[in-house]
Chain A
Amino acid sequence: DADVTQTPRNRITKTGKRIMLECSQTKGHDRMYWYRQDPGLGLRLIYYSFDVKDINKGEISDGYSVSRQAQAKFSLSLESAIPNQTALYFCATSDPSAAANYGYTFGSGTRLTVV
């Protein structure tokens, strides 16, 4: 099994619908992140969490919310999806004791299309 698992892998949804993207990890890492990727824009941080009780907004949090249900689970919700939220979404984890050298572990991504 993958260390960081994202579900679903692909999703098409309609404008105005609520949708949840899920991320679970077996790395035992405290720190988890949600990024979105658009062509030419690299990865932009949506939300991050350094432990279960710690949730922080990233640079593009508007229109999104998150829930850290457990150390291993971090979900991203789009309350009312809009077409410009069409993107590739990545979940990532890191170990603070090793992060300086090892960066992140990424999930396989969720390709979301809002029509």
Chain B
Amino acid sequence: QKEVEQNSGPLSVPEGAIASLNCTYSDRGSQSFFWYRQYSGKSPELIMSIYSNGDKEDGRFTAQLNKASQYVSLLIRDSQPSDSATYLCAVNVGAAGNKLTFGGGTRVLVKP
């Protein structure tokens, strides 16, 4: 089992709809969770971080964390064509912390 798993997609959503992305992780000791957006050929850019159970909202993005079930999700509201990208889930694992393990990414396509 991979440490961090995501559905590879593509996840196709119409413009204006909600995109829902999921990520599961295997290490129960994980403390910090991140969502990165990556455009093709570019470097990942951080869009959300979360470390407590529950929801965290930032603009059109909401991250949700459930440590008991070991999943973290990302909702993108009012999806725009510019949201079309690959979204990477990353988990901070290990006792020393600060060493991110990434999922394979979910490709999102927002259609006008």
Contacts and interface: CB of A to CB of B under 8 A. Distances in A.
Interface of A: 31, 33, 35, 40-45, 48, 50, 88, 90, 94, 96, 99-104, 106-109, 111
A100 B100 CA distance: 10
B97 A90 contact: no
A111 B90 CA distance: 22
A40 B8 CA distance: 7
A96 B31 CA distance: 14
B92 A42 contact: no
B104 A102 contact: no
A43 B88 contact: yes
B53 interface: no
A42 B100 contact: no
Nearest to B31: A100
Contacts of A99: 32, 92, 97-98
Given A44-B102, A103-B90, A108-B43, 15 more contacts: A40-B8, A42-B88, A42-B102, A42-B104, A42-B105, A43-B88, A48-B99, A50-B96, A96-B97, A99-B92, A99-B97, A100-B51, A102-B46, A104-B100, A107-B43
Contacts of A100: 31-32, 49, 51, 92, 97
B34 interface: yes
Contact of A41 (B49, B99, B104): B104
The interface size bin for chain B is 20 to 34
Interface of B: 4, 6, 8, 31-32, 34, 36, 41-46, 49, 51, 88, 90, 92, 96-105
B43 A103 contact: no
B83 to A, nearest CB: 19
A103 B49 contact: yes
B11 to A, nearest CB: 14
A103 B46 contact: yes
Contacts of B51: 100-101
Contacts of B98: 31, 50, 94, 96, 99
Nearest 5 A/B pairs, CB to CB: A42-B102, A106-B43, A42-B104, A43-B102, A99-B98
B40 to A, nearest CB: 10
